[in-house]
Every structure is written in structure tokens, then in C-alpha cells.
Amino acid sequence: MRIFAASLATETNTFSPIPTSRRSFEACFYAPPGEHPDEPKLCTAPLYVARRRAKAEGFTLIEGSCFWAEPSGTVVRSDYEGMRDEILGQLRQAMPLNAVLLGLHGAFIAEGYHDVEGDILERVRSITGDECVIGCEYDPHCHMTEKRIRLATVSTVFKEYPHIDFVERGEELVELVLQTLRGKIKPVASLYDPRMWDFFPTSTEPMRSFVDKIKKLEGKDGILHISVAHGFLHADVPDMGTRVLVYSDDRKADGDRLAQQLGDEIFANRGKWCAPTLDIERAFAQALAHNGRLAIVAEPSDNAGGGAASDCTLAIHKLIERKVEKAAVAPVWDPGAVEFCMMAGPGARMPLRFGGKVAAESGPPVDAEVEVLATRHAGWQMFGSARVEVGDTAAVRIGGIDVILISRRTQAFGIELFTQLGLDPWSYRLMVLKSAQHFAGAYGPLASLIVSADTGGCCPQDPAKHTYAKLKRPLWPLDQQLEGRMLV
Ligand SMILES: [Zn+2]
């Protein structure tokens, strides 16, 4: 038995001011065949899992290239085609194959390609033929098109947001593919489109119970696997939106019924899946009035994980203005300012200009007398079981406000952002975290209040703040008159 695995993944924000090219992937994560480290990355779990299963069960795994870039703007066409063709060339060399495993994010957009994953699958299928089993793993912030589902044999989507389950869903994908190859199951897809987009954090209700419920439905009554693709609103593509994907064991009518039932339940609760995003004044008013443990103000609009710069200064200016004590902001992407702090060293007091660089929405830079509290070469943080590099990093203090500066653009995931610089995350009263939801896994247990604030970046939590030209309408919340439909 011969199985090929590769990964090509990013999450494209078509409204982002930051360009994306092959250079972006090579700077973030690029593993040529055989060079993938023995630890999982967010979108490479199928390869990581298959490596272990191949050893244990004696099948041959042929490893292809793996690419990941931090979310940013539309990918340069020739660079996408080059990375795609690198993988397709390896695939051709690896033939004949029984199965192909692809680690995809599902929201990769390149110039001239609004459905990159559909394009990859079409080309993979034309090389492998119809008999080959093709399995894909996706991030829920994907655009789950009909084309992808028709071309692949089976697909899984992370169920958790924060995405702490990417290895688990990779395990399930590989298991479904192996069972299909061994003739034990025949996965048949049902894809339902409730014609909406919403935000579905799974660390809070009602999504927590919804995910627990769909997990209990799997493995019973001929239902093999259930996924909810949340959709990624920061992309102007025809298929942006929420989808329910059910795989039955050759029981199409049952799969269709369940997909529609779950999709209709999601639609019936539209607008109730998460707390509303506030403006910064209201968010700070709530956080400062809070009399408990730490209050976290999340800043999803400047989330690097959604394609933003993570250098918006609005919240920092407000904290300085109000002379807030025991406050922290993390992380602010400013490689130049980090470099100055590294040169000056811990203990230095100096005027520093930082943030407010990338785009108009980043706001004016902060000019302040700072104390450099600590610096660290090649910093990192944990995201579930994956290590995320933050590059050189520094902590600076302005009055009662500590700011974590980083040189590799990424969002707030783990408390190592603070602890690796010798700072105690439990010592703060208010923390502004540049992230939409992934911070909640590590920081959630520290906080007794979490609110979200919109500071005007390219990742608003409201689709009405984007101008879509290609998006298929109607779609709630932009439209009210609509009806769900089965796509597959
Ligand atoms: Zn995601």
C-alpha cells in the first residue's frame, strides 16, 4: 500500500494590506520531502499521523512538500502555481498510489484562483485517477466548496475553535482513509449550505454543547463523520460562508437529512453563537469596572491570524491616556522596535517609537519613554501541541503598561509570550490580546472577564464592514430573505 502526503496552506484575507508570496511561506514554514520535523504543525497533521501509522502498519508513506504562511493578502499567482506544481511533480513521481493525504487550510486564495484547494484537488485527481482515495483536512475557517467535496473521497475539519484538535482530526482522517482502502467503509458526502456566516467559538456556549452533540452522533446509525466549516469572512470569494458536512457509510439520504437538520439548527441560532464585539471605549469601560481576576480585551480586528498587521496602536494610546495600571498588550509586531530593544538591552530607559506602521488602520505610532524589561532571541509560544515562533522579542514598560513586541508576525496563543520574558501573566489586571479566539485556550483560565473590541483593522467581526464583489448572495447577516440548500 502506497500513500502520498503533502500540505499547502494559508488563510488569505483579501482585504489585508500585507502581500503574500513564496517568500512568506519560506519565512513561516517550508519542509521539503522528508524534512518535516517530528512534531505536528497546524495544517500538516495528516502527514505527521500517517508517518506513525506507516511505521506501525507497514505501508509506504511518500512525503511531499509542506508549506504554511501566516495569514495575509492574496497569494502571487506564479508563486502559488510554483508551490502547487512542486507537490504535483512529487505526486507524479510517487505513482502508483492507493491514497493521497492533503493538509489544507481551505481559505488559500491566489491571483486568478478563488478556490485554490479545488484547483489542487482537480489536478491531483487527474493524476491519480478515480480509484485513488483522497483525504483532506481543513481548518473550519475555510470556504468549503462543492468542487472540493466532489473531488475528494473524505475530508475532516477541526471541530474546536481554538483549534486544539488538529491532530485528533488528522488521526480521524487517516483512519477513515485506511478503512476505505481496506473496504470496511464507503464514505458518502452530504454538504449543506445554511446561507449564512457567523462566529463560532467552542470555548463558550452554545457552540460547546453543539460540538459535543455532533461528536456523539458520529460512529452511530451509519454516520461516519460530521464537520462544521465556519467560513472565513475576510475573503471576497463566491463560496464564503458556513457549511455542514456529513459523511455517511453509503447512506446518502440519512446523511442529507442530518446535514440539513444541523445546518437549520445553526441558522435558527444565528447571531447567538458568540458575544457581540464592542467599540474600544465600551470594552475598556467594562474591563476597568470589572472587579475580579484578570479582564481580557481581545482585539480580533487586528488579529495576525486573520491577516492583520498586529501593529494597531489604538488600545495602547487609550491605556496611556487613562494611565491604567497593571495592564499589558500583546503581541505588537514591530521588528525594528524589537531590534532597538535588543541593542539597548534589559534595564535600558529610552525613547522608543513603535507600532502604527503597516497601514492607515494601524493608527499613529506610539512615541514614549520606555523601560526595556527583557529581551529574548528566537522566542516562541505554544498553540495546543504546536510550537509557534515569534522571533526576537522584547517587553517594554510605559508607566503601568507592559507591551510585548515581536519580530515574527503572529497572534496571541500561549502565555509563553510573557513567561519567556520573565513576566507573570497572573500579575495583570487588564490584558489586551491581539487575537480573535485562539488565545482562549491558554489565557481563558486566567481571566474572569473576556470581551472583544473592534479597533478598525482588516479583520472586523461583522461582514457588513467589508465590501464584497464576488460573494454569492443572499447570505445572512447581509441578507434576510434566504433558504438553505444541499450542495452535495
Ligand atoms: Zn481557523
CA 434 / ligand 1 centre spacing (Å): 15
Please give the Cα distance from 47 to 60 (Å, whole number). Answer: 12
Q: Which residues of the chain have pLDDT under 50?
A: none
Alpha carbon 303 to its chain's center? 10
Grid cell, residue 259, equals 446535514
CA 163 / ligand 1 centre spacing (Å): 7
Place of cell 486573520: 306
Closest CA to 404 of 342, 329, 465: 329
CA 49 / ligand 1 centre spacing (Å): 20
269: number of Cβ within 10 Å: 13
pLDDT of the residue at 384: 84
Place of cell 519580530: 407
End-to-end CA distance of the chain: 30
CA 290 / ligand 1 centre spacing (Å): 30
Q: How many distinct helices (H) and strands (E) make up the chain?
A: 13, 19
Strand ranges of the sheet holding 2-9, from the earlier edge strand across to the other edge: 29-31, 60-68, 2-9, 99-104, 133-138, 154-157
CA 233 / ligand 1 centre spacing (Å): 11
3-state secondary structure of 24: helix
Which residues face 130 on adjacent strands? none
pTM equals 0.95
pLDDT of the residue at 262: 98
Closest CA to 187 of 259, 258, 249: 249
CA 373 / ligand 1 centre spacing (Å): 33
CA 95 / ligand 1 centre spacing (Å): 32
CA 11 / ligand 1 centre spacing (Å): 8
CA 169 / ligand 1 centre spacing (Å): 14
Closest CA to 258 of 298, 291, 301, 213: 213
CA 453 / ligand 1 centre spacing (Å): 19
Alpha carbon 247 to its chain's center? 23
pLDDT of the residue at 279: 95
CA 41 / ligand 1 centre spacing (Å): 13
CA 132 / ligand 1 centre spacing (Å): 28
pLDDT of the residue at 432: 98
Strand ranges of the sheet holding 243-249, from the earlier edge strand across to the other edge: 223-229, 243-249, 187-193, 485-486
Contact between 325 and 431 (Cβ < 8 Å):
no
Question: Which residues contact residue 78 at a Cβ distance below 8 angstroms, ignoring those fewer than 6 apart?
Answer: none
